[in-house]
Chain A
């Protein structure tokens, strides 16, 4: 019996720039006790369609232009506000993407968990408290009585997501909608949270709608899969069929975009050390240590607990022409290492030798010469471009500043550059906000290669992008590496991407290097426990393999 039946749902957004059809005449149903995954890239309408069911889209500009959504025989789209409040968070519960912002920082988590019980279920405070302990225990939070009075900032990202799950399940809803619940989490934490959702779903026999952009994640959890593209459902069916008997071209493209296995590119013939990092340490002052404490015990490098050791005695070397992958979870210090090499953060101790020149303490004019030769590609193409500069200004700046072009021939050079990174020439006068994420990343890559650098540090350059775009950008990066003889340090949390692109891999954990080696041997036979757990946690876009491993 289906618990939710959506028929011919259409949602449009009416803005000054015209009408956008976000969801275009879709129909689907959720059976009792099943997990339905809705997969799609950003802008495909996967989130909007679920949010609209609970009246969570802003109206205007949004408007539901037709359709019905029967939940237990009741049309959700016709509910009044007060009827909706009785359903929302009660019969249908939500888990949001970002556990950092979906908890109120001013209330203890216990207080926040009590709320739905008292509001929806008329529990007394005493009874509700006991139920909260029980659920916290269930989602894997140890010592719930003590943790009851903690504030959200005292929990890690994964723990917060557990709290969010507890909050959603505490009223025993009939339907749970999880919107990218693991996207903001590290890969090992992601695996744990997915397991938790799976187990609880079985135990409570609830239905789950699991919204995700990641086919790998979906493969492990979904009974049925629904693929959305530009507001339409292009394919739906049993998970196994979607992955092994793919019908629609778009789904095929999605599956093909997932980096799987190595891209065998010939390794550089001569091993010539190009970048050498020697016992590098980058410490940050721990702001949680009070200033009085700091004054009482004068700072010295030995005084351990005053510092956060982001990079702790790391030595690596990168040969000319190599792509070296640097892997680690958030907080492992991989980004700080990249920034330390480029001297974007002050280094505490150690040596960074770039083509025979020690970069630490180099005077500004000499440093400027070296800066031309090494560039960075940043993770977030929304933040790494100055919103008030056009493509022209952004790309021309490094050329003009380093005297690589004159005012006269700069346009000509920019066109060549734009061709190279795959941007249409007509875009030259546009501002960053007029581009999609993938195009922005192309601009950012264009800026990085404008000065004809020899070393590029790419900090998660594809993490913020959709999977099909990610594949294109990876191709572009590989092309550019070949065309310009680039050496690259490729920082990522995504092991599949790193395997695809790198010649060698370095694994970082808590500021230290735990393992390093050639890509294929390392993936085939990881030596260190941490590497092994990382590799085991990678979601595979294949339900059959996922079933075997779990």
Chain B
């Protein structure tokens, strides 16, 4: 164990600080984190660094293969692909992280409370989840759009509101077995309040599956956004996202492959980075797994 020695013994250290030290030993996870940070920074500063405007068309040029002027080529309307991929990243990353973040927050807390309190509270809380599961997702979204008009925030909320259900179930299942553990009983006999026990003893021990599920949720959320946008329920052209670029790219794949390849490649790299980071985090947060 090297991590122990890197702290001043007089200072308390949280699981997260400790995990950070362990994460730094995992090269692949650091690489993944680097790539993601790079993408996020690019997404943030996109409006100031793009070579073209995302709606600027050059119909004369049409779909041109990559060149010095347009590094990733242009689409059928002659719009610069690099610009569109960069702008698309803003939407995709935002949807991916915010919607997943919403799902994570609601799902973990809801599941942990239901599992820990148990009994009738648990039954009532989980029945609510079942009911929400049963609602047809598309109708739910269309209803939201009709009622409140189309906007990006609503899209995040709608996706988040659906994704937290599975998260809540996973966490609850974990908590049910954790609650039987003696260390939770020990925490009760120390006199800790239920919320402190959930926060300090229960949730940290559910992190493994939660992180794995999160890394699966982010891509599925990104694709969900593309699907909704494709149906006209998400973001509208000329705005774009990776998912949307890919689905347009598929249509013209045989004539203009670069319209599919570049956005596809970007999304794949982002997802790879995410998975490396997710695996690294899972190991780093489990003191047992990272003993080498």
Residues of A at under 8 Å CB distance from B? Answer: 16-17, 339, 342, 344, 364, 367-368, 371-372, 374-376, 378-380, 383-390, 392-393, 396-398, 401-402, 407, 410-411, 428-431, 433-434, 444, 447, 451
Contact = CB atoms under 8 A, between A and B. Distances in A.
Given A392-B13, A401-B196, A375 B292 contact: no
A384 B287 contact: no
A456 to B, nearest CB: 10
Q: Which of A368, A386, A397 has the most CB of B within 10 A?
A: A386
Nearest to B189: A376
Interface centre among B9, B18, B201, B286 (most CB of A within 10 A): B9
Interface of B: 1, 3-5, 7, 9-10, 12-13, 15, 18, 181-183, 185-193, 196, 200-201, 204-205, 285-288, 291-292
A392 B15 CA distance: 11
A117 B185 CA distance: 47
A371 B285 CA distance: 31
A371 B190 contact: yes
Contacts of B186: 376, 378, 384-385, 444, 447
Contacts of B9: 411, 428-429
Contact of A430 (B1, B15, B200, B205): B1
Contacts of B7: 429
A379 B186 CA distance: 11
A411 B11 CA distance: 8
Given A429-B4, A430-B1, A434-B1, A401 B287 contact: no
B135 to A, nearest CB: 28
B190 A447 contact: yes
**8 smallest beta-carbon distances between A and B, as pairs:** A371-B191, A429-B4, A384-B182, A431-B287, A368-B191, A378-B182, A383-B182, A398-B190
A431 B9 CA distance: 14
A397 B14 CA distance: 12
A434 B18 CA distance: 15
B27 to A, nearest CB: 17
Contacts of A444: 186
Given A16-B292, A376-B189, A411 B10 contact: yes
Contacts of B204: 386, 388-389
Contacts of A387: 205, 286-288
25 contacts: A339-B185, A342-B189, A344-B188, A371-B189, A374-B189, A378-B185, A384-B181, A384-B185, A385-B186, A386-B200, A386-B205, A387-B205, A387-B288, A389-B200, A389-B204, A390-B13, A397-B192, A401-B192, A401-B196, A411-B9, A429-B3, A429-B13, A433-B291, A434-B291, A447-B190
B292 to A, nearest CB: 5
Contacts of B292: 16-17
Contacts of A407: 12
Nearest to A429: B4
A228 to B, nearest CB: 27
Contacts of B201: 386, 389
Contacts of A386: 183, 187, 200-201, 204-205
Nearest to B7: A429
B182 A344 contact: no
Contacts of A385: 183, 186
Contact of A344 (B189, B193, B288, B291): B189
A398 B192 CA distance: 8
B249 to A, nearest CB: 44
A407 B10 CA distance: 10
A346 B182 CA distance: 16
Nearest to B203: A388
Given A383-B181, A401-B196, A433-B288, A375 B12 contact: no
